[in-house]
Amino acid sequence: MRIPTKLVAVAAATTFLLSLTACGSDSGAESSATCPDGRIRFGVEPYEDPAKLKPAYQTLASALQKELNCPVDLQVVADYSAEVLAMRNDELEVAQFGPLGYVFASTKADAEPVASFANAEGELTTYTAGIWVPEDSPIRSISDLAGHSLALGEVGSTSGDALPRYALKQADVPEGDVKIDYAGGHPEALLALTNGTVDAAEINSQQLATATAAGTFDPSKYRQIWKSEAIPNDPITVRGNLDPAFKRAVEDALLNLSPADVAKVGAFLDVTPPGPLVAVEHDVYRPLFELAKALHLTEEDA
């Protein structure tokens, strides 16, 4: 399948940024079973403002670096599709994907899930997609969205794109009857609603918790008209074509991190207080493969 010019450009930009980040590595690090090419490149999708994500993920990356005795280069990539392309092009060894992003990363970039985020009881955590309207809005259900505007996060997002569109499909609301505005991310979709530039917006449970805690969203002034089933939290993956010894080492290292190592990232994922990361397998995300099939999604939708 032909890759759109836009995605090629994004991939090129991602490659450049990754190479710049790599320049900051310890060039004296030696290759080993736990340190291929003297470094590990760790990608994260931009589900929140990168300026906020980077410090949180740097804590996790530093802990991983210590466990593996190998420099870890952290990169919050340009967008969802860029991360899939970066792993496909062997530019990332480790990456955290959203559940739907993992679908494409699995099929197109041979990404293998190894760990995800658990609560203090050691249970894999979940989140939900949602659509919200102002409290005084005449929109009472998803069926009422016809003829109105809806802010979604970003193309390729599980909760900020695919699941809300699937909900419209299930409610027999033609997408052409709803003015969909891709705001550029979960925070931007929420902002579009609070600024009154759209009639409704997707706000997932993670963004809801973050914005409510920050005082930038008051749920009492809005109403949720739709909520998805539970979605398993993001997997951290390794690239499938790497040495099995390295993949086992990464999994062991991730599962050995302390709750304190992942707490800052967990706060963005509504995992508070967090437990240690837990092992996950492909089958955990099977419903997302079925969702992609139902919506006829391809990697061009990532």
Q: What is the pLDDT of residue 302?
A: 57
Same-domain check for residues 218 and 254: no
Show the domain range for 25: 5-124+234-301
Q: What is the pLDDT of residue 225?
A: 98
Q: Which residue has the tokens 């749920």?
A: 219
Q: What is the pLDDT of residue 45?
A: 92
Gap between the Cα atoms of 187 and 106, Å rounded: 27
Q: What is the pLDDT of residue 213?
A: 95
Hey, which residues does 224 pair with through a beta bridge? 132
Last residue of a domain, one of 206, 228, 250: 228
CATH of the domain at 30: 3.40.190.10
Same-domain check for residues 222 and 143: yes
Q: What is the pLDDT of residue 127?
A: 97
pTM, two decimals, is 0.85
Q: What is the pLDDT of residue 22?
A: 40
Same-domain check for residues 104 and 32: yes
Same-domain check for residues 110 and 134: no
Last residue of a domain, one of 176, 193, 228: 228
Same-domain check for residues 110 and 194: no
Whether 210 contacts 203, CB under 8 Å: no
Same-domain check for residues 192 and 246: no
- List the chain residues with pLDDT less than 50: 1-28
Same-domain check for residues 176 and 81: no
Same-domain check for residues 24 and 114: yes
Same-domain check for residues 118 and 248: yes
Q: Please count the structural domains in the chain.
A: 2
> Which own/partner pairs from 219-224 qualify as long-range (CB within 8 Å, at least 24 positions apart)?
220/135, 221/134, 221/135, 222/132, 222/133, 222/134, 222/135, 222/193, 223/132, 223/133, 223/134, 223/135, 223/137, 224/130, 224/131, 224/132
Same-domain check for residues 254 and 108: yes
Same-domain check for residues 76 and 44: yes
What are the structure tokens assigned to 155, written together?
């193309």
pLDDT per position as a tens digit, 124-140: 999 999 999 999 999 99
Gap between the Cα atoms of 41 and 35, Å rounded: 10
CB atoms inside a 10 Å sphere around CB 192: 22
Q: What is the pLDDT of residue 32?
A: 80
Q: What is the pLDDT of residue 299?
A: 64
Last residue of a domain, one of 184, 209, 228: 228
130-134 sheet: strands from edge to edge: 179-182, 149-152, 200-202, 130-134, 222-227
Same-domain check for residues 207 and 257: no
Q: What is the pLDDT of residue 30?
A: 62
